[in-house]
Chains A and B, each alone.
Chain A
Amino acid sequence: MRNGGEGRARLLLVILIVTSLFLITLDLRGVKVIEGFKQGTQTVLSPFQRAGAVVLNPVKDFFSDVTHLGRTRSQIEKLEAENANLKIKLLNRKNADAQLKQLEDILDLAGMAGYKVLNAKVISHGSSQSFSQTITIDSGSNAGIKKNMTVLSQFGLAGVVKDVYPNSALIQLASDPAFKVGARIAGSQQIGILSGRGNRSASLQLLDNSTTVKVGDVLLARGSVANRPFVPGVPLGYVSQVDNSAGAVAQTATIRYYTNFSTLGVVAIVVSGPTSDPGDSLVPQKPRVAPIPTVTVTVTPSPTASN
């Protein structure tokens, strides 16, 4: 009896393992059923994610504010009761203002380059359990979004559309370890490949070893054929460190993305690219240092009464 039970357990385990391997094989071979299954799940999930985003946005801001205001705890305690209602209103307003500011900046960026864009709100940040970096937006194929479209933040490249569902889309962030984009350095026009690292930094591998790169150089997207997945001229980031390892086939550098991926609230999807390459026109301007007026004091000897 015991042997029979163990035999059944083993058989069950074998069946489950074979089923898993079967699923992996089907997916790797690109069988549509699996894709449809995932799409269906996302279609069902997106209303829940949208509701979650609406409900939890003030909570997220609240936690953020509490962290920053921790140093002035005594002051908060004093004002907390008095401001409870106002704070909720203010947080909602703050959230809306921040999103409006992001939207304005995105539209400025897109308008300067001649991109036609669609705006969308971020409704979910992907979990890191699979070591990937993704977000979900609240617009999908019904709004005209297609796979492999460029996604912008107000500072530059945010990612690329990875999967599209009727009312939502999955964006692969530029920080994702599997993300790669052709880049060129503004000015010198040297080209290379930029790869995500799982955080806000990325690695750049130059294609030509005879050229050099220096800290502070700005990187722009090279653009793809028919502007998909990448439109040309989008600011990516700047060189934060040059790796000069001896014997390397190609020069590499560490890049700091302009986009802060953890604060993305609104993004723009480029639905059609520019008619001509915007070149270096989107290179972010360096902050200008306001000249400090120099005060010149001229000492004039006061007339003394000599007589």
Chain B
Amino acid sequence: MITRQISIATPIFLLIFVIQEAVISQFRLPGGGFSILLIFALTWAVLSQPEVAAVIGFAAGIFMDLSQSASGPFGQWTLIMLLAGYAISYIGYGDDNIHANAIGIVFFVVVANFFVEIAYLVTGALLGVSTGSFGQIVLTLFGMSIWALLVSPILLPLFTRLHALIFDSRSAL
């Protein structure tokens, strides 16, 4: 069962990573743009059990660390994403108002997106990564949240169907 899940999930993660790096990164979108991998991982984390969400976050974090635009040390995104995956799944676990409701999932993903970026900034500051002026950070944070709010509803049906396909859940919206 686990072998099947991993063997299907790995190419999906790979594909989304390639789309992020080869397609989304071509556009210098205003307000910092969005990360499709981040939105994907957070959506799956919301729909999964906490321990599965932690593994999803871990895998997504590894890919995000492999991205050439990752400015921090390798493992920073991995740590943040695994904790974020576990946390948002733990908060929403067992709450059908979230799992069965598209608006609830989008809300969770957007808020998580915002806090994940803040966590990256805080850990980056601790590890000595330069992140720019306060105004620029605020602009990027809000810009990325707005992008997540616009993009998540469009991608949600696809992401939930893929999740249902792999984890046999009834979460497809």
From residue 12 to 59 of chain A, which have CB atoms closer than 8 A to chain B? Answer: 12-13, 16-17, 19-28, 34, 37-38, 41-42, 45, 48-49, 51-53, 56
A129 in the interface (beta carbon within 8 A): yes
In Å, the complex CA distance between A199 and B23 comes to: 22
A160 in the interface (beta carbon within 8 A): no
Could you mark each residue 89-130 of chain B with 1 if its beta carbon is under 8 Å from any beta carbon of chain A, else 0?
000000000000000000000000000010011001001011
A178 in the interface (beta carbon within 8 A): yes
Contacts of B69 in A (CB 8 A): 126-130, 132, 134
From residue 113 to 153 of chain A, which have CB atoms closer than 8 A to chain B? Answer: 124-132, 134, 136
CB-CB nearest in chain B for A23: B75
CB-CB nearest in chain A for B23: A52
CB-CB nearest in chain B for A262: B28
Q: Known contacts A27-B74, A129-B117, A131-B137; is A124 also within 8 Å of B22 by CB? A: yes
Cross-chain contact A49 with B27 (CB below 8 angstroms): no
In Å, the complex CA distance between A23 and B33 comes to: 28
Contacts of A262 in B (CB 8 A): 28
In Å, the complex CA distance between A192 and B153 comes to: 48
Cross-chain contact B18 with A48 (CB below 8 angstroms): yes
Q: Say which size band chain A's interface belongs to.
A: 35 or more
B7 in the interface (beta carbon within 8 A): no
How many whole Å from B165's CB to the nearest CB in chain A?
A: 23
Which of B27, B35, B72, B130 is close to A125, meaning CB atoms less than 8 Å apart?
B27
Q: Known contacts A17-B82, A131-B140, A198-B133; is A38 also within 8 Å of B23 by CB? A: no
Cross-chain contact A49 with B22 (CB below 8 angstroms): yes
Determine the main DSSP class of B at the interface with A.
helix
Contacts of B18 in A (CB 8 A): 45, 48
From residue 46 to 77 of chain B, which have CB atoms closer than 8 A to chain A? Answer: 50-51, 54-55, 58, 61, 64-77
Cross-chain contact B75 with A20 (CB below 8 angstroms): yes
Which of B76, B82, B144 is close to A24, meaning CB atoms less than 8 Å apart?
B76
B24 in the interface (beta carbon within 8 A): yes
Contacts of A279 in B (CB 8 A): none
From residue 3 to 33 of chain B, which have CB atoms closer than 8 A to chain A? Answer: 18, 20-28, 32-33
A170 in the interface (beta carbon within 8 A): yes
Contacts of B145 in A (CB 8 A): none
Q: Known contacts A17-B79, A27-B74, A34-B74; is A131 also within 8 Å of B23 by CB? A: no
How many whole Å from B83's CB to the nearest CB in chain A?
A: 7
Which of B58, B68, B83, B137 is close to A42, meaning CB atoms less than 8 Å apart?
B68
Q: Known contacts A26-B74, A198-B136; is A128 also within 8 Å of B33 by CB? A: yes
Q: Known contacts A41-B66, A198-B132; is A20 also within 8 Å of B51 by CB? A: no
How many whole Å from A239's CB to the nearest CB in chain B?
A: 17
A197 in the interface (beta carbon within 8 A): yes
Q: Known contacts A20-B58, A262-B28; is A9 also within 8 Å of B50 by CB? A: yes
Cross-chain contact B64 with A9 (CB below 8 angstroms): no
Could you mark each residue 133-151 of chain B with 1 if its beta carbon is under 8 Å from any beta carbon of chain A, else 0?
1001100100010000000
A166 in the interface (beta carbon within 8 A): no
Contacts of A126 in B (CB 8 A): 25, 67-69
B131 in the interface (beta carbon within 8 A): yes
Cross-chain contact A178 with B25 (CB below 8 angstroms): no
Q: Known contacts A130-B70, A131-B131; is A52 also within 8 Å of B26 by CB? A: yes
Contacts of A136 in B (CB 8 A): 68
In Å, the complex CA distance between A12 and B57 comes to: 13
A177 in the interface (beta carbon within 8 A): yes
21 inter-chain pairs at a CB distance below 8 angstroms, sorted by A residue, are A13-B54, A13-B82, A16-B55, A17-B79, A20-B75, A24-B73, A38-B66, A49-B25, A52-B23, A53-B26, A56-B23, A128-B144, A129-B38, A129-B144, A130-B70, A131-B131, A131-B132, A132-B70, A134-B68, A197-B136, A198-B133
Cβ-closest 4 pairs across A and B: A23-B75, A198-B132, A126-B69, A177-B132
Q: A24-B75, A48-B18, A49-B22 are in contact. List 7 more A-B contacts (CB 8 A).
A: A13-B82, A48-B21, A124-B26, A126-B69, A127-B20, A130-B71, A177-B133
| B interface with A by C-beta (< 8 Å) | 18, 20-28, 32-33, 35, 38, 50-51, 54-55, 58, 61, 64-79, 82-83, 86, 117, 120-121, 124, 127, 129-133, 136-137, 140, 144
| A interface with B by C-beta (< 8 Å) | 8-9, 12-13, 16-17, 19-28, 34, 37-38, 41-42, 45, 48-49, 51-53, 56, 60, 124-132, 134, 136, 163, 170, 176-178, 196-199, 262
